[in-house]
Amino acid sequence: MVESTRDPLALMGLMQLVSPALPIGAFAWSQGLESAIELGWVSDEQSLREWLAGVLQDGLTVCELPVLARLQQAWANEDREALQHWNDWLQANRETAELADEDLRLGQALARLLGDLKVLPASGWLPPRPAYVTLFAWMAHRRGVVVGDAQLGFAWAWLENQLAAACKTLPLGQTAAQRLIERLRPELATAVSAANVLTDAELGPVLPGLALASALHETQYSRLFRS
């Protein structure tokens, strides 16, 4: 059993960070899902579940979740070199214009909000062009959230956001979305455990189909989402 966040203020800090009400505009991005639906690859509850489970395993598990842990550790250690390294690494792994844009714009929006709340890192500590994950890691560190919980929160926010995008694009009801949460909740926990045993050489997303869908989204005629 992993250690969990006991401090009530830390726990609420995590809830605040992963809430869909956090004003950073996450709702505007679908991470290739809108395009996958347009292509007919995702068309119902079952195919959506397969898509999300696949992206969780070959995306978050080998990219955002383990790197979030490394970044949070880097903030704790005040390791400027590691912060820069993993921030660069994340951006270099973004497969398409929209996925790179999403990362930077969510990062900018979160940085602006944290600036307004006066909780940004001291001047000079934030890498230039900070990725969303880099700032998420900073807040988890600052609030005293345990790494494993920060990862679960990150994965949870991803799942909720993907389901919200699917409900707007597919014929998919709110109850079906909750059914998918019931099915995928254990997989989020598995993803965090799997992420935490990977070595640096094993990291890197493997989502060639999603990358293709995301690049096709750039020329999709009618679209609701920015990615």
Partner 1 sequence: MSAGDSGHRFDAGRRWEASLSLVFAARLSGAAEATRTRLIRARHHGPLRVQRPFYPEQRQIDLADPCHVYLLHPPGGLVSGDALKIGVNVEASAHAVLTTPAATKLYRADSYGVVWSQTNRLEVEDGGILEWLPQETIAFDGSRGEQRTEIALHGEARCLGWEIMALGRPASHLPFESGRIEQRFQLTRDGRPLWLERQPLDPVHPRFVGRWGQGEATVQATLWAAGLPDPGAAVTTVRAALPANPSWAVTQRHDVLLLRYLGGSRNEAWALCCAAWHALRPLLAGRAACEPRIWRT
Positions touching partner 1 (CB under 8 A) are 36, 39, 41-42, 47, 50-51, 54-55, 57-59, 88-89, 91-100, 204, 206-212, 214-216, 218-219
- Closest to partner 1 by CB, 22 vs 211, is 211
In whole angstroms, how close is the CB of 58 to partner 1 at the nearest point?
A: 5
Rounded Cα distance between 169 and 150, Å, is: 29
Could you tell me which residues come within 8 angstroms of residue 207 by beta carbon, excluding any fewer than 6 positions away? 32, 55, 58, 59, 95
In whole angstroms, how close is the CB of 29 to partner 1 at the nearest point?
A: 15
Residues 81-107 as b/e (b if ≥16 CB within 10 A, e otherwise) read: eebebbbebbbebbbbebbbebbebbb
In whole angstroms, how close is the CB of 52 to partner 1 at the nearest point?
A: 9
- Closest to partner 1 by CB, 29 vs 41, is 41
Rounded Cα distance between 129 and 131, Å, is: 6
In whole angstroms, how close is the CB of 17 to partner 1 at the nearest point?
A: 26
DSSP 91-155: HHT--SHHHHHHHHHHHHHHHHHHHHTT-SPPTT-SPSS--HHHHHHHHHHHHT--HHHHHHHHH
Looking up tokens 């395993």, which residue turns up? 57
Could you tell me which residues come within 8 angstroms of residue 154 by beta carbon, excluding any fewer than 6 positions away? 18, 60, 64, 65, 68, 133, 136
- Closest to partner 1 by CB, 10 vs 195, is 195
In whole angstroms, how close is the CB of 172 to partner 1 at the nearest point?
A: 17
- Closest to partner 1 by CB, 49 vs 185, is 49
In whole angstroms, how close is the CB of 173 to partner 1 at the nearest point?
A: 23
Rounded Cα distance between 208 and 110, Å, is: 28
- Closest to partner 1 by CB, 126 vs 145, is 126
- Closest to partner 1 by CB, 66 vs 148, is 66
Residue 49 · residue 184 · CB < 8 Å? yes
In whole angstroms, how close is the CB of 20 to partner 1 at the nearest point?
A: 23
- Closest to partner 1 by CB, 100 vs 126, is 100
